[in-house]
Structure 1
């Protein structure tokens, strides 16, 4: 069985963020097609070829799919053809592959987006409390092990 790098995703009304957890990758290539096909390929740290395709929920603008290399991952911002919130990342209704997970650090709810207009690189940690707790000034950091399903 082939292993896949972990893919984290989050969305805004106009774009989708795909973060591919892949360190020391070379020869990175991203190709997007208007009907929503996202193709990724790279050569991993051990010279293994990594390639996968995702059939995204909606139509996208192919020219907007450009990868940004980070220290431990690759961030791809994909522009949606039409502004609006997708019900899920993939077109298929079944459970997504186990390597596809929600990026809680970039996630923004539909209701919160207009209230939290920020730069796409800003990360916000939001709490569900009403602000009356005694830990004013503390950031809420999600339990990463729970978020990753471990």
Structure 2
């Protein structure tokens, strides 16, 4: 990933953390930054499916579609609610064992998208505060 894309994802992650709930524009921005290029189906078909899910306000399903299309492959390890906050843990495919990424948020779609974005960040940006930004609740496990 190039530096501008990394900064864009870091900015998006900060805006998601600060938002009370995930908004459609957050997902559209993530979809634009992380193209639907995975192996399951054609990019055009995935884009149409994504647009349909967004039109139906199926935000969690929209995030999961982005996750499904990501390379390297990732999967949701857990989603749980405790103390009024959702915790989502995403891990990379078995070939990248040990790469787990956690995000916490009051809104489930926001927690899932934040963990996914966290999994896309270079290692140097996963260690606490993102360059010049406030610390977030993102962590690599």
Task: State the TM-score, normalized to the length of structure 1.
Answer: 0.25
Q: Pick the structure with more strand per residue.
A: 1
